[in-house]
Amino acid sequence: MSDSPLLEIRDVSKTFGSVISLSGVSTTVRAGQVTCVLGDNGAGKSTLIKILSGVHQPDGGELLIDGNPVRLGSPREALDAGIATVYQDLAMVPLMAIWRNFFLGSEPTKGWGPFRRFDRATAIETTRRELADMGIDIRDPDQPVGTLSGGERQSVAIARAVHFGARLLILDEPTSALGVKQAGVVLRYIARARDRGLGVVFITHNPHHAYPVGDRFLLLNRGKSLGDFAKSELSLAELTRMMAGGAELDQLAHELDRNPAGKATS
């Protein structure tokens, strides 16, 4: 049995004109593990997502799936390779039922030729079963997806990707607009996808969301890697400090101190 990672990113670079969006970025994603990609706005996270999902091709470096070099020329090629991307906007229609959104663009049919029609019963039953298998408790598959909470919508999107055969799940800031409780809902389903053997790339700027579910951490800053670490190699405090800027944070704390060193207190 091969020990190759499900996905390996080797020295990937991407420029847009004179702007260096990514430079020499490397990491791995293994089946049954979560690789967290962390960075602030402008760090290069979106560019990395688009390279992995086939929207952009890297200018340098390479991607390997199961140890074999690949070039993903389009989102369709990425999907065919088992890579599913769940974007922040989720590509859902709020007024349509959950089951309609679950099969949006891939509707099951029955019959043949001119008698071919949408198989509503199969779609509803499959949606109910797949959500239950992921531990997602939806009251009624007929309810509009817009009535779900943010965390529930993210969970439906994750279950949909799993159902359609994703081996690698890329999640674009799934907890960014959620409160503590709803973020916890999404993290729980990320862990369930991981436990079902998927490789997960979790894009986030929040180390407190990343650390509980992450197995590996890639930190980006202005397109460059600050390091690629296994969980055993750093603590949450160290991850948070690296994200915050370390020395810059110390300098800011000094500037904001109400009682600088040496000043007498009353």
Q: Using one digit for the tens of pLDDT, what is the confidence trace for 25-46?
A: 999 999 999 999 998 888 899 9
Q: Using one digit for the tens of pLDDT, what is the confidence trace for 76-119?
A: 999 999 999 988 776 788 898 999 888 887 777 777 777 777 78
Between 10 and 114, residue with greater pLDDT? 10
Q: Does 2 reside within a domain?
A: no
Q: Is 221 in contact with 42 (CB distance < 8 Å)?
A: no
Cα separation, 144 vs 153, in Å, equals 11
What domain range includes position 24? 7-256
Predicted confidence at residue 212, as pLDDT, reads: 93
Q: Does 1 reside within a domain?
A: no
Q: Does 266 reside within a domain?
A: no
Cα separation, 171 vs 82, in Å, equals 14
Predicted confidence at residue 123, as pLDDT, reads: 87
Residue 192, pLDDT > 50, answer yes
Tell me how far the alpha carbon of residue 6 is from its chain's centroid: 15
Q: Does 234 reside within a domain?
A: yes
CATH assignment of the domain containing 118: 3.40.50.300
**159: Cβ contacts below 8 Å, ≥ 6 apart:** 102, 130, 131, 133, 134, 136, 189
Residues 203-230, mean pLDDT to the nearest whole number: 93
pTM reported for the whole predicted model: 0.84
Q: Does 261 reside within a domain?
A: no
How far, CA to CA in Å, does 107 sit from each of 120, 123, 124? 9, 8, 11
Predicted confidence at residue 258, as pLDDT, reads: 65
Q: Using one digit for the tens of pLDDT, what is the confidence trace for 54-64?
A: 999 999 999 99
Looking at the 3D structure of the chain, how many domains does it have? 1
Angle between helices 150-163 and 180-195 (to 10 degrees): 10
Predicted confidence at residue 254, as pLDDT, reads: 66
Q: Does 25 reside within a domain?
A: yes
Q: Does 104 reside within a domain?
A: yes
Q: Is 215 in contact with 231 (CB distance < 8 Å)?
A: yes
From the CB of residue 177, how many other CB atoms can be counted at a distance below 10 Å?
Answer: 11
Tell me how far the alpha carbon of residue 204 is from its chain's centroid: 8
Q: Does 263 reside within a domain?
A: no
